[in-house]
Amino acid sequence: MNGSVPVETTFSWSTFVQKYWDRSPVLFRSPSLSPAPFAAGDVFRAAVHGSRSARLDGHMPSHAQFTLERMQRDVAHDLLPAAEDGSFDGYDSRLATRLDGRRHALVINSFHTFDPALWSRERTFFAGLWDIVGLPLTGAITTLFHGTYEHSPVGVHKDRFATFMFGLRGRKRMRFWSHRPWDEPVSTKVDYADHRSESFAAEIGPGDVLYWPADYYHVGESATTAPATSVNVGVPRHDHHVGYELETLIADIDPDRLTGGSSLDTLLPCHEAPVAAAGPRADGLLSAALPEGLSAPVRTLHAFAQPDRMADRVTTVSLRRWTAGGFEPAPAPVSPPPLADTDLLRADPHAQILWARDSNGSTLCAANGHHTTTPLKNSDMLQLTEALTSTRPVEVAALLEAVSPGLQRGAARTLLQRLESFGAVRRHS
Ligand SMILES: [Fe+2]
Distance 36 CA to ligand 1 centre (A): 23
Higher pLDDT, 308 or 66: 66
Distance 237 CA to ligand 1 centre (A): 13
pLDDT score at 310? 86
Q: How many CA atoms lie within 13 A of 396 on its CB side?
A: 22
pLDDT digits (tens, 9 = 90+) for 176-213: 999 999 988 888 888 899 999 999 999 999 999 999 99
User: Looking at the structure, do residues 104 and 14 belong to the same domain, yes or no?
Assistant: yes
Distance 205 CA to ligand 1 centre (A): 18
Distance 45 CA to ligand 1 centre (A): 24
CATH number at residue 96: 2.60.120.650
Across the chain, mean pLDDT equals 89
- Determine whether 23 is exposed, middle or buried from the number of CB atoms within 10 Å of its CB (0-12, 13-18, 19+): exposed
For residue 66, is pLDDT > 80? yes
CATH number at residue 397: 3.90.930
Distance 281 CA to ligand 1 centre (A): 52
Report the SS3 class of residue 53. helix
Does some domain include residue 302?
no
pLDDT digits (tens, 9 = 90+) for 11-30: 999 999 999 999 999 999 99
pLDDT digits (tens, 9 = 90+) for 274-305: 777 778 888 888 888 888 888 887 887 888 78
Q: Which domain holds residue 41?
A: 7-236
Does some domain include residue 263?
no
User: Looking at the structure, do residues 101 and 190 belong to the same domain, yes or no?
Assistant: yes
pLDDT score at 125? 96
For residue 256, is pLDDT > 60? no
Distance 217 CA to ligand 1 centre (A): 8
Nearest 5°: the CA angle 89, 92, 97 is 130
Taking phi over 0 as left and psi of -120 to 50 as alpha, with beta for the rest, 369 belongs to: left
User: Looking at the structure, do residues 232 and 323 belong to the same domain, yes or no?
Assistant: no
Number of domains in the chain: 2
For residue 238, is pLDDT > 90? no
Kindly report which listed range (75-84, 182-191, 230-239, 294-303) carries the lowest average pLDDT score.
294-303
Model-wide pTM > 0.85: yes
The confidence band for 154, taking pLDDT boundaries of 50, 70 and 90, is confident
pLDDT score at 161? 94
| Domain final residue, candidates 219, 236, 253 | 236
Average pLDDT of the segment spanning 44-58 = 88
Kindly report which listed range (55-59, 238-242, 267-271) carries the lowest average pLDDT score.
267-271
